[in-house]
Structure 1
Amino acid sequence: MDRTVTEPGTFEFEDTVDTLCVRIVGGAVNVVGVDEGPARLEVTEIDGPPLKIERRGSTLTVAYDDLSWKGLLKWHDRHGWRRRAVISLAVPQGTSVEVGVIGAGAVISGISGSTVVQGVNGDTTLVGLTGPVKANTVGGNVEAQSVSGDLRVNTVSGDLTVVEGSGSEVRADSVSGSMVLDLDPSAGAQIQLTTVSGEIAIRIPEQGDADVDANTTSGHVSCAFEELQVTGLWGVKRISGRVGSGGAKLKATTVSGAIALLRRPPLEDAPSFRKDI
């Protein structure tokens, strides 16, 4: 089934959907995983060129004809910024999701399949994802809440916030974006954070088990764990050592940004994370 969308409306897809591809300019896209029922698309706002709905087997695509996935991060069209679409999709939880946004926000929740997001000048929110996640943004922030799948994030100037992260792998790279992470790494978890000028703040449980190696070339450091060693009064400063029995690997590097390693108190005593940082 192929059709174009020029006005608000709701669409249902009775056949199986196991892959979703979305590419929009302006506005917002919301994708939610559901237990049962057919996949559904609701277009609440649309301005500019029509969106195209395309079905190929079990793949559902909602996108502009002239906006390809490979060219999304390099797409330049002065007339394109007049476009706007606000859409919501409900798909089976196991669906593999690809979302590309330019000047638009994206919210993806409840998906257990793989999730890939590419964004330019739009914020991305990821909630309750259990499958592997990749997010690449230029000038957009990424917030991940209760994500238990492996998480890989690349940003240019966007900030990364992770709340209640428990995946076995977290890898994040940024040029100037800051990183604020609340983690409960499982045994053997691999966490690697790198930024040039952004600040890094990490909070792990009081009884956490992690080998830590965090350093900054010219920024300040602070550490709430007495069992870790802070070295370097001038130039490169490093926080290193083991919390608990180790197991997880935590490595963080920034050139000019500050690094803070914070202790999360027991849940019954824990204040809001955002007030801690």
Structure 2
Amino acid sequence: MPNWTVDGPQRITLDEPVTSLNVSLISGQLNVVGTDGPARVDLTRVSSRPILVELRDGRLTVRHPRRPKWPGLLWWLGQLGRRFRADVSIAVPADVLADLELVDGALVASGLRGQTRVDVTSGRIALMGLRGSTSARIVSGPVEALGVGGDLSLDTVSGEVILADSTAERVNASTVSGAITCDLDNPRGSDIRLTAISGSITVRVREDSDLAVRLMTTSGRITSGFPQIGGSGIPGVRDSRGVLGAGTGKLWASATSGSVALLSRPVAAAEDLEELP
């Protein structure tokens, strides 16, 4: 059972197979990438609290040894954050089961194809090129997903949700205080559900999409670039429905205090993007 206690910059290369990854850090920067080569852990910055790295029965664990007590948010951000700050990059096989937690900082995950769970308290989440089943939750800060497929769940309490070039079959995105912006290129049969409490929702889909659409708002305005859906910014319209193409997929967007906009993207624009090197 290999294990390390790391108190300074260090690279650890693992010769044994890795099937799952569990990361629990307090503060700093965490980058996780799926790779075809051997698993490795690069620690480029470690403050006064060491990082524990352990590999047991295919499970790679990277964590701070213990979580501190919470004496108050301001003291935490000003004092404890510096003592626990670490910058960690981890490369693992793309099909691992990944469970990633960070209290304060930025987390980037890319190239993973298995089940991925991301949980950040305060900071920023960026997801790129993930497949399989992905769930990401952040209390304070934005979450961005670029080129993510499979099943995708994004949740933020105070922050923006940004989803671009998505081929996800199922999308569930919600924010309490923030906006949702989506650029979707979904296969037939997709199920997309977007919810904003205090903020607007903007969705762009291909003009040849096959979607059954429902757009709702309590105190905002509905705007649609598709005549089949209606809305068009007409005052008083709070619930618009319609069908695009064969309607084999579903798009459901609901804002409590904010507007909902559905935009059309030309098919030629999508094809041009696919041809770029």
Fold match by TM threshold 0.5? yes
2:50 matched residue in structure 1: 50
CA RMSD of aligned residues (A): 2.4
Which amino acid in the other structure matches residue 43 of structure 2?
Answer: V
The structural deviation recorded for 1:128 is 0.6
Would you say the 8 A contact 1:31–1:90 is kept in 2? Answer: yes
The structural deviation recorded for 1:238 is 2.1
- 1:267 is paired with a residue whose SS is helix
2:85 matched residue in structure 1: 84
Query: Identity of counterpart residues, as a percentage?
Result: 35
Distance 2:142 2:268 in 1: 27
1:275 matched residue in structure 2: none
1:244 matched residue in structure 2: 245
Which amino acid in the other structure matches residue 42 of structure 2?
Answer: E
Change (3 A) 1:113 1:248: same
Which amino acid in the other structure matches residue 180 of structure 1?
Answer: T
- Which is further off, 228-237 or 158-167? 228-237
Structure 2 alignment gaps of length 5 or more: none
What are the superposed Cα offsets for residues 69-88 of structure 1, whole Å, 9 maximum, x if unpaired?
Answer: xx99x999835322210111
2:114 matched residue in structure 1: 113
Distance 1:50 1:75 in 2: 22
Would you say the 8 A contact 2:167–2:184 is kept in 1? Answer: yes
Would you say the 8 A contact 1:43–1:87 is kept in 2? Answer: yes
Change (3 A) 1:75 1:55: farther
Would you say the 8 A contact 1:25–1:80 is kept in 2? Answer: no
What TM-score results when the alignment is normalised by the length of structure 2?
0.90
Distance 1:220 1:268 in 2: 27
1:39 matched residue in structure 2: 39
- 2:81 is paired with a residue whose SS is helix
Structure 1 alignment gaps of length 5 or more: 273-277
4+ runs deviating over 2 angstroms: 74-80, 229-236, 266-272
Would you say the 8 A contact 2:222–2:237 is kept in 1? Answer: no
Distance 2:11 2:48 in 1: 18
What TM-score results when the alignment is normalised by the length of structure 1?
0.90
Aligned residues: 268
What are the superposed Cα offsets for residues 179-208 of structure 1, whole Å, 9 maximum, x if unpaired?
Answer: 100112222111111111111000000111
Distance 1:14 1:232 in 2: 59
- 2:252 is paired with a residue whose SS is strand
Change (3 A) 1:58 1:105: same
Distance 2:18 2:75 in 1: 31
1:210 matched residue in structure 2: 211
The structural deviation recorded for 1:96 is 1.1
1:190 matched residue in structure 2: 191
Distance 2:176 2:165 in 1: 24
